[in-house]
A = this chain, B = another copy of it.
Amino acid sequence: MKKEASKKSIINPWEVSGNVNYEKLIKEFGTSKISEDIYKKLDKCHPLLKRRIYFSHRDFDKWLEDYHKGKKVSVITGRGPSEKMHLGHLVPFLVAKSLQEQFNCEVFIPISDDEKFFVKKDLSYEKALEYSKDNILDLIALGFKPGKTFIFQDFVYTDIYKYAAQVAKRMTYSTAKAAFGLTPENNVGWSFYPAVQAAHILFPQFHRGKHRSVVPVGIDQDPFIRLTRDVASYPEFNFEKPAALHAKFIPSLHGSVKMSSSESASEGVIFLSDTAKEVEKKIKKYAFSGGQATIDEHRKHGGNPDIDVSFQYLKMLFEPDDKKLAKIESDYRSGKLLTGELKEILIKKINLFLKEHQKAREQAKKQLDKFLVK
């Protein structure tokens, strides 16, 4: 509760800190609030959508309209591969998967090993390739539909260069510099990458022809969406402007607004490869609690689920049943449910998920061919 309450809010693609006023962000970024009407149409989707972790959009109403008219629609969401994926990384993919399930649409997943290689000084080319391979297995393990899901890594599916080049021709260094915060001492791969990223977002249309595609992203990434929407409408492309669904920031275990693996290495995050013991230890030790300092006080005053990371994780990721979640919330708020008990519920849920995930990941090794773009 004390955390960062007095800090000024800073939101841009490189930095997220302070308390976030999401209503204000919608105004600042010029996006649209997701309406009740839209939420109603997403009733079969992942809790991340239904429970309004995704709160803002661009043209997603048109995407739904196109779908209901029988037009082709798709989802595109990429990944900058890292050594190991953690729970926070799953957010856009869970949303993509549930859109695929509800709307039976294609999903495109570019893996930007090039970006990581350009941006991370000490990351070797070989390591960048390795991380891609590792992360692709985790993505396939989530259960995307084979034949309707297209994964590619830039250093293997190098045809992305043809598309990126076409975008690059229409993007000045000044523009890329402003959108990505480039400095003259950054390498020229980094200068080029904004064009690659735009090509990723436009890839469904390069690959499958003109149609509306939606990108689930953190709201901090919206400047790149805006940039790409400008590119899409140039006459040589004549593409649909990509739609976007914007998420709030997912807290790390410590409760800071954006979960990141750099924050405190292995402590602030649950990796998909963590053992049950590691999960238990991390949640018990690090998951920021909205409960009171003593059991007596907790029974008397109750906890605050709004800032309790364990509750937020259940809400966002691990308790799809609305009734069960409501009961946990009211019990916690009333003081009936203790922090330790709440954490136990979450630990069980995460470990169940990870057990299945780790099994599915082994299976994924045999399914690569069904998912990789050739």
A168 in contact with B184 (CB, 8 Å) = no
Q: Which residues of B contact A162 (CB under 8 A)?
A: 155, 158
Q: Which residues of B contact A168 (CB under 8 A)?
A: 118, 187-189, 192
A174 at the interface (CB under 8 A from B): yes
Residue-wise interface mask of A (105-145) relative to B, using a CB-CB cutoff of 8 A (1 in contact, 0 not) = 00000000010011000001100000000000000000000
With contacts A118-B168, A160-B161, A166-B125 taken as known, whether A184 is within 8 angstroms of B189 at the C-beta atoms is: no
B188 in contact with A184 (CB, 8 Å) = no
A268 at the interface (CB under 8 A from B): no
A165 in contact with B124 (CB, 8 Å) = no
Q: Which residues of B contact A160 (CB under 8 A)?
A: 158, 161
A173 in contact with B188 (CB, 8 Å) = yes
A17 at the interface (CB under 8 A from B): no
Residue-wise interface mask of A (152-185) relative to B, using a CB-CB cutoff of 8 A (1 in contact, 0 not) = 0011001111100110111111101100001111
Best-surrounded residue of A118, A161, A186, A194 (most CB of chain B within 10 A): A161
| Bound Cα distance from A194 to B177, whole angstroms | 18
* Min distance, Cβ A373 to any Cβ of chain B, angstroms: 13
Residue-wise interface mask of A (214-257) relative to B, using a CB-CB cutoff of 8 A (1 in contact, 0 not) = 00000000000000000000001000000000000000000000
| Bound Cα distance from A177 to B166, whole angstroms | 21
Q: Of B158, B166, B185, B189, which contacts A192 at CB under 8 A?
A: B189
B236 in contact with A125 (CB, 8 Å) = yes
A195 at the interface (CB under 8 A from B): yes
* Min distance, Cβ A102 to any Cβ of chain B, angstroms: 35
B236 in contact with A169 (CB, 8 Å) = no
* Min distance, Cβ A341 to any Cβ of chain B, angstroms: 50
- Closest residue of B by beta carbon distance from A121: B169
* Min distance, Cβ A151 to any Cβ of chain B, angstroms: 18
Q: Which residues of B contact A125 (CB under 8 A)?
A: 165-166, 169, 236
A172 in contact with B188 (CB, 8 Å) = yes
Q: Of B177, B186, B194, B236, which contacts A172 at CB under 8 A?
A: B186
A187 in contact with B173 (CB, 8 Å) = yes
- Closest residue of B by beta carbon distance from A183: B173
* Min distance, Cβ A319 to any Cβ of chain B, angstroms: 43
| Bound Cα distance from A177 to B189, whole angstroms | 13
- Closest residue of B by beta carbon distance from A125: B166
Q: Which residues of B contact A194 (CB under 8 A)?
A: 188
Q: Of B158, B161, B172, B236, which contacts A187 at CB under 8 A?
A: B172
| Bound Cα distance from A118 to B162, whole angstroms | 12
A304 at the interface (CB under 8 A from B): no
- Closest residue of B by beta carbon distance from A162: B155
| Bound Cα distance from A160 to B160, whole angstroms | 11
| Bound Cα distance from A177 to B117, whole angstroms | 21
Q: Which residues of B contact A98 (CB under 8 A)?
A: none
B174 in contact with A184 (CB, 8 Å) = yes
Q: Of B158, B165, B189, B195, which contacts A169 at CB under 8 A?
A: B189
A114 in contact with B165 (CB, 8 Å) = yes
A173 in contact with B165 (CB, 8 Å) = no
| Bound Cα distance from A177 to B174, whole angstroms | 13
- Closest residue of B by beta carbon distance from A170: B187
B187 in contact with A182 (CB, 8 Å) = no
Supply 13 A–B pairs (Cβ within 8 Å), ascending by A: A114-B161, A118-B165, A125-B169, A155-B165, A158-B159, A169-B187, A171-B188, A172-B184, A173-B185, A173-B186, A173-B190, A188-B194, A188-B195
Identify the 7 closest CB pairs spanning chains A and B, nearest first: A168-B189, A192-B192, A161-B161, A158-B158, A174-B184, A191-B191, A158-B161
